[in-house]
Amino acid sequence: MTQETLPAPDVAPVTPSVRFADLALAEPVMRAINEVGYETPSPIQAESIPLLLEGRDLIGQAQTGTGKTAAFALPLLSKIDLSQVRPQLLVLTPTRELALQVAEAMQTYARHLRGFQILPIYGGQGMGLQLSRLHRGVHVVVGTPGRILDHLGRKSLNLDSLQAVVLDEADEMLRMGFIDDVDQILGHTPAKRQVALFSATMPAPIRRIALRHLNEPQEIKIAAKTATVSAIKQRYWQVRGVHKLDALTRILEATDFDAMIIFVRTKLSTEDLAEKLAARGFASAALNGDLNQQQRERTVERLKQGKLDIVVATDVAARGLDVPRISHVFNYDIPNDTESYVHRIGRTGRAGRSGEAILFVAPREKRMLHAIERATNQKIEPMQLPTRNEIVDRRIGQFKAQLDAVRHTEKLAFFRELVQQYQQENELDMDDVAAALAYLVQKEQPLQPTINDEPTVQAERGQREDKRSREPRSDSGEPRQRREYSREERQEPPIGLDMKRYRIDVGREHGVQAKNIVGAIANEISLDSEYIANISIRDSFTVLDLPDGMPLDVFEHLKSVRVCGRKLDIRVDGSAGKSADARPGRNPNSGPSHKKPFKAKTKSAAPKRKAAAKQAAAPAGSTKLKLKKAKPSKKDGAGSKPPKRKP
Ligand code: ADP
Ligand code: MG
């Protein structure tokens, strides 16, 4: 929570005259708002607060960044009876990051409520701590559905005194497959509690939940989808000719940014890319679901404090991240759906600041680019990579700045003498000495790098028109060397991978969808969803491909995993193992860059995995897959699995 004075987030107030002071919030809560520095309530706050204070049920539809947390937290905190140390308010969030973020925000708003107790509850954290805190008593519980259900099952969480329930980001909970859990939890709550449901979109299953559990809800709808992204400058670069990593580095070098979040598709790519950027001198780190909660918090904290400038993240790990200094969002891998894009770029332009988003679009991803433009109702402008001249100018500028800094801060007497001595010994001009030194200094990062400029858009157009010439032309019209296209553009997976066909005991008649299966398996055994392929849902069972060589204990664990209430009871299907990439000459187990889909989960293995992952950014076999997205399973703890060893 920032202490500076912030403008109300995003959309312009519909009722500009409303002030916090008009809203009948409890005095200690008002004091906290003043200290935090919110000037005026955002539209969703102005509309929700009076209704929630009155005790009405509410459906609030608003995009991320519109200030929903305070919209429910301020009124509901105002109504807490501090003398009753029992759960009076339950907030359900889709991820632990959000649970923590909401809990932290509420703690701030409640800082003048004496003896106030709030507890975030999420999978992946040890049960012991949660149990003892619950036992001692809390006023508010903020948690993810899976773990809340666990506690209800153990009777360690008692909701008899509950006054209100908030469903935060309900559509996200639906998307992640938690909606049945939410339904069940609501069923456990007293009949007379108040319910506030917040969601960016209102798909039918959310409406059904609302119908079933809400009592004459008042509906509030704030601003169009486009409002959230309008403050963000969006551009894309069409991937061609230059490898994405080099293109990224070039853009980073030529861009003034405060902090940046870079989105990639897989956990492994987060580490791989973060490492490569670090090697190129950027203060970067990975943020993914393999890190434990503490590590993730530490990374976010370091980003907030400016100890890191770049975080490379997956969608899931970065959801809801609120770090005001993020000035740029970089979509290194295009997202799988338009909603993710909106979520991603919503990490910048927070609380009224401006932000920039850059997107890499490979030729085959053009479709998604257009889908995004339609969904956000905004055109994303094409951009060119910084030219060699721009890079040279940048580097020269930095070089001069370094010289200035050294001249002003360092003691140079010894070096002055050394240089003079050298000059006299060799009877040189001082210019020549200085030039030689300058050359030495820039050797690692040359001031005159060999970089080929991209063909400009005009040049490309010319090329298309001039059918006789197959060579791209530069600005001057000179034919240019044809470049080797990178593997990425040939759309081939880097390495083959043997897959095996499995059968699981859940099928269409149990109501299962592919996303539930991918979510459960990906999360339960920490397998990147790219490896879960060719899912075929039949009436009473499903067959699917998983990488060959699954460790026995992982296999055993998967047997007992439940999807749609049914044990998977996974087993090898039929006879033949399948190969997802059967091109000849590709031995999946040879070659240093082969990536192991099944990861060791022990802590000490993590750094080693990092090293092994070094060369394997792109997932094997990815072009053949029907399913792309990682979805956490019903039980939300990615970190709560037992360690695995290959037998
Ligand atoms: P949402 O849940 O809608 O995505 P948040 O509740 O996370 O949005 O709020 C987004 C940001 O706006 C947070 O940094 C929060 O501190 C800030 N914020 C919320 N309400 C106000 C307000 N009235 N004035 C200024 N900033 C606010
Ligand atoms: Mg929120």
For 81-95, the pLDDT digits (tens) are 999 999 999 999 998
Superfamily designation of domain 499-622: RRM (RNA recognition motif) domain (3.30.70.330)
Q: Is pLDDT at 552 greater than 70 in this prediction?
A: yes
pLDDT at 299: 94
Is there a contact between 382 and 362 (Cβ–Cβ < 8 Å)?
Answer: no
Pairwise CA distance, residues 269 & 360, whole Å: 15
Q: What is the pLDDT of residue 309?
A: 95
For residue 544, which phi and psi values (nearest 5 degrees)?
-160, 165
- Output the pLDDT for position 353: 66
**Residue that the structure tokens 């980073």 belong to:** 252
Rounded to the nearest integer, the mean pLDDT of the chain is 79
Residue 66 Cβ contacting ligand 1 at under 6 Å? yes
Instruction: Give the pLDDT mean for 134-143.
Output: 96
pTM of the model: 0.46
At residue 294, the pLDDT reads 86
Instruction: Label residue 217 by pLDDT band (50, 70, 90).
Output: very high
Domain boundaries, the chain: 20-223, 229-385, 387-464, 499-622
- Of 201, 302, 200, the residue nearest 259 (C-alpha): 302
DSSP of 167-219: ETTHHHHHHTT-HHHHHHHHHTS-TT-EEEEEESS--HHHHHHHHHH-SSPEE
Q: Is the pLDDT of residue 165 over 80?
A: yes
Q: What is the mean pLDDT of residues 148-161?
A: 94
At residue 157 the predicted structure's pLDDT band, cuts being 50, 70 and 90, is very high
Identify the band that residue 483 occupies on the pLDDT scale cut at 50, 70 and 90: very low
Quick one: pLDDT band at residue 562, thresholds 50, 70, 90? Answer: confident
Tell me the C-alpha distance between 428 and 435, whole Å.
Answer: 11
- Which ligand ends up closest to the CA of 66? 1
Same fold, 229-385 and 499-622: no
Residue 55 has pLDDT above 50, yes or no: yes
Tell me, what's the pLDDT at 172?
Answer: 86
Whether residue 571 is predicted with pLDDT greater than 60 in this model: the reply is yes
d(CA 140, CA 450): 59
- pLDDT confidence of residue 168: 95
Q: Please list the residues that pair with 89 across neighbouring strands.
A: 140, 164
Tell me how far the alpha carbon of residue 67 lies from the centroid of ligand 1, in angstroms.
Answer: 4
Q: Distance between CA atoms of 222 and 204, rounded to whole angstroms?
A: 19
How confident is the model at residue 468, as a pLDDT? 39
pLDDT digits (tens, 9 = 90+) for 41-51: 888 999 999 99
- Choose between 393 and 164: higher pLDDT: 164
- Range 315-331 average pLDDT: 87
Task: Check residue 367 and give its pLDDT.
Answer: 85
| % of the chain exceeding 90 in pLDDT | 44
Nearest to 453 by CA among 381, 384, 394: 384
**Ligand 1 site, residue 23, Cβ cutoff 6 A:** no
pLDDT at 434 over 90: yes
Whose Cα sits closest to atom 24 in ligand 1? 8
- 43 pocket-lining for ligand 1 (C-beta < 6 Å): no
**Ligand 2 centre and the CA of 67: distance in Å?**
7
Residue 454, helix vs strand vs coil: coil
Q: What is the pLDDT confidence band of residue 17, given thresholds at 50, 70 and 90? A: low
Name the residue at shortest CA distance from atom 2 of ligand 1. 68
- Assess whether the C-beta atom of 238 lies below 6 angstroms from ligand 1: no
Q: Looking at the predicted structure, is the pLDDT value of residue 106 above 50?
A: yes
What value does the mean pLDDT take over residues 329-338? Answer: 90
Q: What is the CA(83)–ligand 2 centre distance, in A?
A: 28
Predicted confidence (pLDDT) at residue 523 exceeds the cutoff of 80: no
Is the pLDDT at 630 greater than 90? The verdict is: no
296-321 per-position pLDDT tens digit? 889 999 999 999 999 999 988 887 78
Return the closest-CA partner of residue 478 out of 455, 461, 449: 455
Interhelix angle 179-187/204-213, nearest 10 degrees: 0
Beta-bridge partners for 311: 261, 285
Atom of ligand 1 nearest to the CA of 322: 14
Q: Could you tell me if the CB of 347 is within 6 A of ligand 1?
A: no
Ligand 2 centre from 530 Cα, in Å? 29
Q: Name the pairing type of β-strands 259-263 and 232-238.
A: unpaired
Q: Which pLDDT belongs to residue 307?
A: 94
Indicate whether residue 93 lines ligand 1 (CB < 6 A): no
Mean pLDDT on 243-260:
92
Strand partners, 233: 356
Say what the pLDDT of residue 286 is.
95
d(CA 534, CA 544) in angstroms, rounded, equals: 5
Using alpha carbons, select from 637, 66, 629 the residue that is nearest to residue 339: 629
Q: Would you state the pLDDT for residue 229? A: 60
Domain 229-385's class? alpha beta
For residue 63, the model assigns a pLDDT of 74
pLDDT in tens, 352-399: 667 899 999 998 888 889 988 888 888 899 999 998 889 999 899 989
With cut-offs at 50, 70 and 90, classify the pLDDT of residue 522: confident
Q: By mean pLDDT, which of 41-45, 129-133, 263-267, 373-377 is the weakest?
A: 373-377
With a 6 A CB cut-off, is 351 part of the ligand 1 pocket?
yes
65 lines ligand 1 (CB under 6 A): yes
CATH code given to domain 20-223: 3.40.50.300
Question: Tell me, what's the pLDDT at 264?
Answer: 93
Residue 200 C-alpha to ligand 2 middle, in angstroms?
10
By CB atoms closer than 10 A (0-12, 13-18, 19+), residue 164 is buried
Mutation choice for ligand 1 from 1, 2, 5, 6, CB with most ligand atoms inside 8 A: 6
Ligand 1 atom closest to Cα of residue 2: 16
Whether the pLDDT of residue 437 is over 90: the answer is yes
- In this prediction, residue 511 carries a pLDDT of 84
